[in-house]
Chain A
Amino acid sequence: MKSTLVSSATDSSSPSRSAPPRRRAGPASWARGGGLSNLVFLLPTLVVFGVFSWYPIGRALVMSLQQTNLVTAAQWVGLENFRHVLTDPLLWTAIRNTGYFALLALVFGYPIPLVLAVLMSEVRRARGLYSALAYLPVVVPPVVAVLLWKFFYDASPTGVFNTMLGWIGLGPYPWLQNESTAMPSLVLEATWAAAGGTVIIYLAALTSIPPELYDAASVDGASIFAKIWHVTLPQLRGVLLITLILQLIGTSQVFLEPYLFTGGGPSNSTLTILLLIYDYAFGQSLGGDYGAATALSVMLAVVLAVLSAGYFRLTRKWAAS
């Protein structure tokens, strides 16, 4: 099987290698050959990407080397902004907190959707209802969800969660009001909010697993757990890798939850990298340090790009086999 794959790959690449070199085409023949209309078709997309993505990225790169308040003329300061950010003690707090959030989200947020999806795919009746229920939190606007959860997390004994836990003799817990419980509380809400989307992806992937594999496993006398372990998970491997990298990128850029729940508190215990970027730019009413904010953004982007590239390189072989 493997050898066939390898040889077919070689075959498919051989014709282009043996093809005669193409003649250099002039602008006129390029236009006649459809180049112009292709370009015109692409133009709206190029404009949208250019104006809303590439131009801001370019501006951010430039701004990270400047000191500006966006009103008076900007000054070039070289790498000063990067030096300032790297020597800011809050940066390391933010990195630590973001790493902690990502870790907790990975430990709790990553397996839960998978378990849910597998369970739901096993359900025979009313599967649509379960999918809808699982997806519901994604439909709730994130800001509304956070404000709702703020009520749930009310730290007084009469708060929603504390009342419920009180019935079984637990609590009251401080939730967001304590340096050690604030971050896990944020992760809990984030997991609830995001799980639905991932469940749908997994459910779609599960339907693409050939049923014969399960039949074969049944014939071999495999239990349900053996089927999941030996059939479902290996078949989902590609999707699992994609969702893992998406989640890592997503959690490295977590902003909404700390911003709305705690504003980075108590005492910077939920200050994340993106919140720090926001604080640099807009934290003080007048001291907008846009240079430091863009410098940290650029550094974050580079780290994430390297992380993604490295990750895909390491796992490409594994995912393809």
Chain B
Amino acid sequence: MRSTRKAAIVILSTTLSIGMLAACSSSKPAKSAAKDGKVKLTIVSLKPGSEKAAIATFNEQVKQFEDKNPNIDLVPKEYEWKATTFAAQLAGGTLPEVFTIPFTDGKTLIQRKQLADLTSQVKALPYAPNFNPKVLDAAQDTNGNIFGIPYAAYGIGLQYNRTLFKQAGLDPDKPPTTWDEIRADAKQIADKTGKAGYAQMTQNGTGGWMLTTLTYALGGRMEQTSGDKVTASVNNVQTKAALQKLHDMRWGDNSMGSNFLLDWGGMNQAFAAGKVGMYMGGSDVYTSLVQQNKINPADYGLAALPLDSSADAGILGGGTLAVVSAKASQAQKDAAVKWIDFYYMRKLTEQSAATLDAKTLADGKQPVGTPALPIFDKATLDKANSWIASYINVPLPQMKSFTDGVFSQTLVAEPAKNTQELYGALDPVVQAVLSNKNADIGKLLDKANTDIQNILNRS
């Protein structure tokens, strides 16, 4: 009796141990083929916290795709690209097989062999030869192989709240066209409404990103390239002037509100809540403001970012690549490009797909027609917009200043090397200027320049 019980305990205990060990070793590659012969593919869906209607619309599009491709089984996963979590997701292998990344990171991920080579699949697409070479370059290695599909491009514009403009006695149809006007309007908004007239992102790399944007607008550059050598130049005259502008608005006019620790999500939230009069942000941010922050469309205004008269002045441009995990199987890569083509690309190139996409979105009360910059050329973009004209539900007249002005502005790409690290190193500088009245701008920038140069040298 005793020995039976002992044996039972031994068996139980051993099973438990083996079970736990087995539970821990689940890092096997995901099965690409399900039992029913279908190709299983995990894809990114919408950002966490999206509206129910947006999720329902997305699921409807997944269904349309699966109906067309009965041998592919899509598994959507919520996803938002964030500098602070992407590395962990990438290292931990928790990203879906199809995910999206900013142009900024394309080259590095390709170099590190973390993206699947999609050259043959992309070349088979009917519109492959039409990509704007400058845009496609973000997804190519030095041999011209293609590792991703650019599907959205943006330029930075001036986002402004029309309701706050009205409350402050400003004309919402005449947004500021110079930085002096921005400063004056910001002060008027702050004085009249008590809200932040102008606000600036400062956290998780967005501080550096937006400081770079302002520097470009004044004609400066953050890195100098000569041959293979890249030199940091963040202590340039224009960046100093940019920070001085922020300093004057913050400490001279007190027109920047009271929260100086804002990242992209925090800024959008504050803006949609009517706490911010103006800020710099991507021209495509309206979609997210609707889907995540329930902005009142009547509040929204988008203007072209005022540029300095210098010939080098331009707006910072970027975009998003749809890419596939390097671990994906051949069948998954084929399915992935089919999905990217269906969900991200067809609406840019094919009338029937464009109208179906626009109708689905409009039926789900999701934004249609948010301003974008061309992936192919301006004519293709205009044509695509004309197909969906009857579905456009975003307040385009409120974005006229941007859509009229942006095509005459010079688009400048982000700093080429160690971009995210450069942005990260500039965050504390922007924060210091906004939280410390006596911050020494020259000294802060010199120090940041040394730090960034060290990073460049180290890599």
Contact = CB atoms under 8 A, between A and B. Distances in A.
B9 A40 contact: yes
Interface stretch (A98-106, A171-179, A204-212, A248-256): A171-179
What is the predominant secondary structure among interface residues of chain A facing chain B? loop
A287 B258 contact: no
**What 7 A-B pairs come out closest when comparing CB atoms?**
A267-B432, A266-B435, A155-B258, A266-B431, A70-B91, A156-B258, A288-B87
Given A51-B24, A155-B259, A287-B420, A44 B112 contact: no
A44 B83 contact: no
B261 A176 contact: yes
Interface stretch (B222-230, B376-384, B400-408, B421-429): B421-429
24 contacts: A40-B14, A44-B16, A47-B20, A71-B90, A72-B113, A154-B259, A155-B258, A156-B257, A156-B259, A177-B259, A262-B261, A263-B261, A265-B202, A265-B435, A266-B432, A282-B84, A282-B85, A282-B88, A284-B424, A285-B81, A286-B87, A286-B105, A286-B112, A287-B459
A284 B427 contact: no
A268 B428 CA distance: 6
A288 B261 contact: no
Contacts of B429: 267
B91 A266 contact: no
Interface of A: 37, 40-41, 43-44, 47-48, 51, 69-72, 89, 154-156, 159, 172, 174, 176-179, 262-263, 265-268, 281-288, 290
Contacts of A43: 13-14, 16-17
Contact of A71 (B6, B84, B113): B113
A258 B117 CA distance: 40
B32 interface: no
Contacts of B421: 284, 287
Interface in B1-23: 6, 9-10, 13-14, 16-17, 20-21
Given A44-B20, A72-B112, A265-B202, A177 B13 contact: no
Interface in B78-98: 81-88, 90-91
Contact of A285 (B24, B259, B420, B451): B420
B85 A179 contact: no
A266 B8 CA distance: 60
Nearest to A262: B261
B42 interface: no
A263 B14 CA distance: 45
B193 interface: no
A41 B8 CA distance: 12
Contacts of B83: 283-285
Given A51-B21, A265-B202, A268-B428, A71 B108 contact: no
A170 B40 CA distance: 61
A265 B87 contact: no
Contacts of B257: 156
Given A172-B258, A284-B83, 19 more contacts: A41-B13, A43-B16, A44-B16, A51-B20, A69-B91, A72-B113, A265-B203, A265-B261, A265-B428, A266-B432, A266-B436, A267-B432, A268-B428, A281-B88, A282-B85, A284-B87, A286-B86, A286-B112, A287-B420
Contacts of A287: 87, 418, 420-421, 459
B204 interface: yes
Contact of B420 (A155, A177, A179, A284): A284
Q: Which of A47, A48, A286 has the most CB of B within 10 A?
A: A286
Interface string B426-457: 01110110111001000000000001000000
A281 B86 CA distance: 11
Given A44-B13, A284-B424, A266 B434 contact: yes
A81 B431 CA distance: 29
B286 interface: no
Given A48-B20, A154-B258, A283-B84, A40 B435 contact: no
A288 B203 contact: no
Contacts of B114: 71
A177 B261 contact: yes
Nearest to A43: B17
Interface in B241-276: 257-261, 263
Contacts of A154: 258-259
A69 B420 contact: no
Contacts of B16: 43-44
Contacts of A47: 17, 20-21
Nearest to B15: A44
A214 to B, nearest CB: 49
Contacts of A71: 90-91, 112-114
Nearest to A287: B421
B120 to A, nearest CB: 23
A266 B420 CA distance: 19
A285 B89 CA distance: 10
Contacts of A267: 428-429, 431-432, 435-436, 439
B109 interface: yes
Q: Which of B10, B260, B431, B435 has the most CB of A within 10 A?
A: B435
Contacts of B108: 286
Given A37-B10, A262-B261, A174 B435 contact: yes
Contact of B260 (A69, A177, A285, A286): A177
A285 B17 CA distance: 37
Interface in B29-85: 81-85
B88 to A, nearest CB: 5
B89 to A, nearest CB: 9
Nearest to A46: B17
A262 B263 CA distance: 11
B260 A37 contact: no
Contact of B204 (A51, A263, A286): A263
Nearest to A158: B194
B426 to A, nearest CB: 11
Nearest to A68: B91
B113 A265 contact: no
B199 to A, nearest CB: 12
Contacts of B90: 71, 286, 288
